[in-house]
Amino acid sequence: MSAAVGVGLVALQILAGLFLARRLGRAGEPWWARASLAFALGGAVIGLAQVALSALGFAAGLGVPVGIAVVSVLAARLPRQPASTPASTAASTAAASTPLPATDGLDRHARRVLLGLTLVVGLVGASASAGLPFRSDGSKFWAPRARELATAGALEVPALVDEYRVAFHRTYPLLVPTLLAPAFAHSSPDAMVGAKVVLAAYHLALLGLVAAALLRCGPRGGWVLLAFLGSPLLMRTEIRESVVAGGFVDEVVAVYLLLLVMTVERLRGAVARDGGTGAVLLAVLVGAALVATKLEGALALACVLVAVLLAGPRGRGKMLVVCGGVLLLSVPTLWIRGGVIPDEPIVSWAGLVDPASLGARFVPVLYEVFATLLDASALGLLPLLVVVVLTGLPGRGRAYPRLLLLGLLGFLVLVYLGTTMDVARHVHTSAHRLLFQWMPALALLAARALQRAREDDVAASPEAAGG
Amino acid sequence: MTPIRAALLLVALLSAAGAWLVSERELVFEPDVITTWRAEHVDDRPLTAAQESEFRAIRGATRRQDLLLLLAALAVGALAVAVWPAAARTAGGTVPAVLALGAVVLLGWSLSMSVNNQIHRAVAGEWTLSDDAFESFTGPLASLLADYRERIPEDEAVILVGVDPFALNVASWALYPRPMYMLVRPIPQTYTLFQVRDEIAGTALAADHPGRWVVHVTVMAQGGAERTGRADLLKVDE
């Protein structure tokens, strides 16, 4: 029964995102890529609405997903205006300048093999995610919070407003718990599978979005996809706190960060018609979902903003508009954060300005952060590939991804310099997850960089020069 | 033989040798320079000696696995590109090709580990899609928690004391919807649950509920009163 509730919620989430995915996504995508996008966008819309209602004192129930799904389906049935199509038909921003030779497409058999591998990784990971019980932070506070939010608004849940109740990380954002609350509300008290099915669907959606995005980058994107699929965190059940291992939100953060980076590429894109109002709206929606999913979501958004601002004039104005929109949609999250019992700080800002503490920690932190790039047990060889491609290859358009990579590494160094825990212990429990949140987005930027390098080679070839 | 192919074969050989050397060790520790630095620059947020010792072993094992997988994958990736140089052209370079082909090793390894683990846990009743995840979630504490559920009415408060992250998590989950409280103040290890109960009885903690119970999660995690001879569950106001 609970599994059926979970499947129903997944279906509602897809339907809720159907309209937006059609209007804001790319045309010509395979069904699984469209379903992945619809699921992610449906989750963003339902989750943000549930968080807003929760801030107003409403329990997170089935009404919101059903209502939004009905509206979305009705809206999707409306005839499309010709003027609204450009955003969806626009080509990849990277493919804007030099057309690649006809032989440069991904071989049909190679594409099938890669899709087959993606499916295997998706199914094995989803099976672990759906069938194994919550562990670590999943059981410690995320799942209990989802169950409590099904009974009352966020500022009325005793665990969030009574300091003596059992509760951890009360200030963490509530998008995912409110999405999963209906699964607990409509399942028997000892059932977890409904909520776990929704998380398993996020796992599949992440793989669907990554595969679609990387395969658009030609054969080189296919190679990056292969490296991505080799990340053990996507399947291994023993890794600390991944969704597959009974954890909770890191893959959801990865989904919205990937969508944000993809959309920002459109905002900065060479194809003017691809970066219109639709792309701004999409960026606002996924940016707000990112902020409402986890604390570091806001820091990831800040990294993207700073990278765009420093990388050049392209997309600067639009990115500021996006941040304004995100701030507006984040008011309920900030409101709830201000109303609950504050947490003990995980990062001490005082520690960041204390010379003795900084001196003691700087070398170990640098070592730990860079050792995480070699964490093959969790992340495979993908971090190495991303770093090599983004820093090693010469060529155009490399400033923005390099700044983003630098921002991520700087963020990790700052967090661990200021941590209130022992450095090595904190890195051990969290760095692989923080890095994984960024891996899909960075893999996409690496694939785009490789594709651009190929275009530059073609443009510089004697045949191209000769006309 | 081209220089690149020779270099790839050398990388494959060195990586394989490195993987073999790592596989011979039980633990791999951080470089001496980092250990020395830590000793000379004492952090103001250190672990206790016991935590340090336990954590050092965990980290050593993790680092060993990371290095072993990294070197094995690099060895296979470099060998594959040496045998199939066309891969480097389509991948956009030798290094991306080595890393992508090396990742295939990790993909196969993760796949087999995950499937194997899921099958074993399904046989043990830990992997389930059923509506009753109580036993798979609470594991060895299932019978104790089932007993607590019978004894504690749903409207009475439960106050958790002691330290054991797993027991704390599963107890707070399994005893829902009973109002769950936590004693924030640290309890001396020499205290019995009776002493803790007597202290709580004089406070207003959770006093607005029809009844209060105190659970010692550390004793619970060790198997409860039957196994340890120490009280694990007491009613506060009798």
Query: How do residues A173-197 score in pLDDT, each as one tens digit?
Result: 999 999 999 999 999 999 999 999 9
In this prediction, residue A464 has a pLDDT band, given cuts at 50, 70 and 90, of low
| Rounded Cα gap, residues A176 and A315, in angstroms | 30
pLDDT at A273 over 60: no
Closest CA relative to residue A283, chosen from A87, A86, A79: A87
**Which residues, in sequence order, are CB contacts of A413 under 8 Å at separation 6+?**
A365, A366, A369
| Rounded Cα gap, residues B116 and B111, in angstroms | 8
pLDDT at A244: 75
H or E element, residue B234: strand B233-235
Q: Are the beta carbons of A304 and A290 closer than 8 angstroms?
A: no
Q: Calculate mean pLDDT across residues A27-54.
A: 96
Same domain, B158 and B177: yes
| Least confident stretch, A152-156, A292-296, A426-430 | A426-430
In a domain, B78, yes or no: yes
| Rounded Cα gap, residues B163 and B216, in angstroms | 8
Share of chain A above pLDDT 70, in %: 91
Same domain, B160 and B96: no
Q: Check CB contact under 8 Å for B92 and A139.
A: no
| Domain region containing B21 | 3-123
Q: Between A382-392 and A423-460, two packed helices, what is the crossing angle to 10 degrees?
A: 50
CA dihedral B9, A454, B90, A435 (to 10 degrees): 70
Nearest by CB: A376 against B73, B91, B95: B73
Question: Is B192 part of the contact surface with chain A (CB cutoff 8 Å)?
Answer: no
CA B7 to chain A, closest CA, distance in angstroms equals 18
Same domain, B191 and B163: yes
Same domain, B151 and B206: yes
Final residue of a domain: which of B63, B90, B123? B123
| Least confident stretch, A110-119, A121-130, A309-318, B213-222 | A309-318
Share of chain A above pLDDT 90, in %: 67
H or E element, residue A183: helix A175-185
Question: Is B100 part of the contact surface with chain A (CB cutoff 8 Å)?
Answer: yes
Q: Check CB contact under 8 Å for B70 and A419.
A: no
DSSP H helices, B41-164, are 49-83, 86-91, 94-123, 134-138, 142-151
DSSP symbols for B180-192: EEE--S---TT--
pLDDT at A388 over 90: yes
CB atoms within 10 A of CB A281: 17
State which amino acid sits at residue A202. Answer: Y
Final residue of a domain: which of B123, B144, B166? B123
How many Cα atoms within 13 Å fall on the side-chain side of residue A352? 12
In a domain, B54, yes or no: yes
pLDDT at B65: 94
Same domain, B94 and B164: no
Question: Is A125 part of the contact surface with chain B (CB cutoff 8 Å)?
Answer: yes
Q: Are the beta carbons of A422 and B43 closer than 8 angstroms?
A: yes
DSSP symbols for A403-417: HHHHHHHHHHHHHHH
**Which residues, in sequence order, are CB contacts of B56 under 8 Å at separation 6+?**
B29
pLDDT at A424: 83
Place of tokens 């339907």: A15
How many Cα atoms within 13 Å fall on the side-chain side of residue B228? 16
ipTM (interface predicted TM): 0.92
Number of domains in chain B: 2
Q: Check CB contact under 8 Å for A227 and B103.
A: yes
CA–CA distance from B30 to each of A384, B34, B61, B64, B67 (Å)?
20, 7, 11, 10, 12
Q: Which residue has the higher pLDDT, A244 or A429?
A: A429
Place of tokens 């011979």: B24
In a domain, B90, yes or no: yes
Count of helix runs (H) and strand runs (E) in chain A = 23, 0
State which amino acid sits at residue A296. Answer: E
| Rounded Cα gap, residues A182 and A63, in angstroms | 9
pLDDT at A360 over 90: no
Q: Which residue has the higher pLDDT, A394 or A89?
A: A394
Q: Which residues of B touch A356 (CB under 8 A)?
A: 44
Tokens coding A319 = 């990115």
Nearest by CB: B172 against A166, A380, A384: A166
**Which residues, in sequence order, are CB contacts of A415 under 8 Å at separation 6+?**
A347, A434
**Which residues, in sequence order, are CB contacts of A185 under 8 Å at separation 6+?**
A59, A60, A61, A62, A150, A151
pLDDT at A83 over 60: no
Same domain, B117 and B61: yes
pLDDT at A104: 63
| Rounded Cα gap, residues B125 and B139, in angstroms | 10
Same domain, B12 and B114: yes
Q: Are the beta carbons of A280 and A267 closer than 8 angstroms?
A: yes
CA A425 to chain B, closest CA, distance in angstroms equals 8
Q: Which residue has the higher pLDDT, B135 or A422?
A: B135
State which amino acid sits at residue B121. Answer: R
pLDDT at A155: 97
In this prediction, residue A135 has a pLDDT band, given cuts at 50, 70 and 90, of confident
Nearest CA in chain B to A392: B95
pLDDT at A97 over 60: no
pLDDT at A88: 43
CA–CA distance from B102 to each of A230, A377, B109 (Å)?
8, 13, 11
Q: Calculate mean pLDDT across residues A229-234.
A: 95
In this prediction, residue A84 has a pLDDT band, given cuts at 50, 70 and 90, of very low
State which amino acid sits at residue B124. Answer: A
Q: Which residue has the higher pLDDT, B148 or A90?
A: B148
Question: Is A364 part of the contact surface with chain B (CB cutoff 8 Å)?
Answer: yes
Q: What is the pLDDT of residues A284-338, one digit of tens each?
A: 999 999 999 999 999 999 999 999 999 988 888 899 999 999 999 999 999 999 9
Nearest CA in chain A to B125: A132
The whole-number mean pLDDT for each consecutive block of 10 residues of chain B, a chain of 238 residues, reads 92 96 90 85 74 85 94 97 94 94 96 96 92 91 95 96 89 93 76 88 92 93 89 88
CA–CA distance from B210 to each of B157, B158, B174 (Å)?
8, 11, 20
Largest CA distance in chain A: 77
Place of tokens 């999913």: A293
| Least confident stretch, A202-206, A275-279, B129-133 | A275-279
CA B152 to chain A, closest CA, distance in angstroms equals 16
In a domain, B28, yes or no: yes
Q: Which residues of A touch B128 (CB under 8 A)?
A: 131, 193
| Rounded Cα gap, residues A261 and A400, in angstroms | 11
* Radius of gyration (C-alpha) of chain A in whole angstroms: 22
In a domain, B128, yes or no: no
pLDDT at A130: 93
pLDDT at A392 over 50: yes
Question: Is A107 part of the contact surface with chain B (CB cutoff 8 Å)?
Answer: no
Q: Check CB contact under 8 Å for B129 and A130.
A: yes
Tokens coding A279 = 């792309």
Same domain, B14 and B60: yes
Final residue of a domain: which of B60, B89, B123? B123
Tokens coding A263 = 């959309």
Same domain, B118 and B187: no
In a domain, B226, yes or no: yes
CB atoms within 10 A of CB B238: 7
In a domain, B129, yes or no: no
Q: Is the dihedral of CA B40, B41, B46, B51 positive or negative?
A: negative
Q: Which residues of B touch A188 (CB under 8 A)?
A: 131-132
Residue A432 backbone phi and psi in degrees, to 5: -65, -35
pLDDT at A96: 44
Residue ranges of A 197-256 with Cβ closer than 8 A to chain B: 219-220, 223-224, 226-232, 234-238, 244
| Rounded Cα gap, residues A285 and A175, in angstroms | 13
Q: Which residues of B touch A219 (CB under 8 A)?
A: 90-91
How many beta-carbon pairs below 8 A join chains A and B?
237
Q: Which residues of A touch B206 (CB under 8 A)?
A: 164
Same domain, B81 and B144: no
In a domain, B161, yes or no: yes
Same domain, B115 and B14: yes
Q: Check CB contact under 8 Å for A237 and B121.
A: yes
Q: Which residue has the higher pLDDT, A214 or B45?
A: A214
Same domain, B13 and B110: yes
Nearest by CB: A236 against B100, B105, B110: B110
